[in-house]
Amino acid sequence: NGRIDVASEPGKGSTFTITVPKDRRSKGRPSEKEWREKIRNTLLSKIDKEPKEIMSVEKAKREILIIDNDPVVIRELEIILKDEGYSIRFALDGLRGLREIEEHAPDLILLDLRMPGIDGFELLEEVGKKEELKDIPVIIIIAGDLERSEREKLPESVKGIITKGQIEKKALLEMIRNSFSPAIGSVTHEDARGRYLANSRSDRPFRILVVEDTPDNLIFLTEVLRPLEYMIFTAVDGQQAVDMVKKEKPHLVLMDVQLPVISGYEATRRIREAVGYGIPIIALTAKAMKGDREKMLSSGFDDYLSKPVHPEVLIKKVEEWLARMYQK
């Protein structure tokens, strides 16, 4: 059992000592390698049971195929998607994944690009040769960033990109829903890809600085913008934002107004003093009350968005300001 001791001395204070017992639960636990292998074997056993038990498809459900050689990623995605009622298939390598696509034609594919053997690029190329399969929507799963040359190789069937280790449930599900049936006014992959390719003819893609101290909000904002191929930078306090603007020279800034160290208002004032008004700064506020708009504009902000921010509203606002800047 654990133990807490205290020793007090008048006029000097108290010393608390905490003794924590050794966690014996770890005894006999498998290593990470053994754990991953166990998950892999479990997934493979599911495949062996096809089609009676595991791979049966209810016609009312959308069927999603996950192709990734990392069993932990497959399991993470499977848990998220099954909770939403999707029917899940999976493959642990590109060859098996290609066979699954040809035999079952899923409604959507979650695809790792970097796999041994047949990688995601080769798989997309093969699928693109088949008229009946080439329009199946694909969401890319990637560890790290894609090179510009890699992005340009992606076909129009690719509807978005998610990053391993940063899979945010809400953003993923929104991306999947838009892949099945894009909302009116939402940005299609073709539009986003066309904008990116046009933009890539310049020296570099648009650079956006996202300033937000709440981790969930920061992840949400970056994940909404990431599929549109912007170069994203982040800051978590007002002073860091000022420093990042001077260093990275972004094309646009999304700035929370309530920040530690210095507020978004003060950070914006300092940015205007340092670099002028050439960079659009959009305020993010949880309290958009009467008079706040005038306060924000007078503080140097160009525009504002009220939290919670809807993905389509965010994208539209960012594109409006980038278009103004890009057309100049």
32 pLDDT band, cuts 50/70/90, is low
Confidence of residue 246 (pLDDT cuts 50, 70, 90): very high
Enumerate the domain spans of the chain. 35-181, 196-327
Q: In what order do the strands lie in the sheet with 63-67?
A: 87-91, 63-67, 108-112, 138-142, 158-163
Q: Which of 106-120, 191-205, 285-299 has the lowest mean pLDDT?
A: 191-205
Span 151-189, pLDDT tens digits: 778 888 888 888 887 677 888 888 888 787 544 334 444
Domains 35-181 and 196-327 share a fold: yes
The pLDDT of residue 83? 82
pLDDT by residue (tens digit) across 33-52?
Answer: 666 666 666 666 655 454 43
Chain centroid to Cα 287, Å, comes to: 26
pLDDT band at 114 (very low <50, low <70, confident <90, very high): confident
CATH number of 35-181: 3.40.50.2300
* pLDDT above 70: percentage of residues in the chain: 77
Mean pLDDT is highest, among 8-12, 266-270, 283-287, 319-323, for 266-270
pLDDT of residue 151: 78
Angstrom distance (rounded) from CA 265 to CA 269 = 6
* Superfamily designation of domain 196-327: Response regulator (3.40.50.2300)
Greater model confidence, 61 or 268:
268
Element (H, E) at 121: helix 120-128
218-239 mean pLDDT: 88
Q: pTM for the complete prediction?
A: 0.45
Q: For strand 207-211 and strand 231-235, is the pairing parallel, antiparallel, or unpaired?
A: parallel
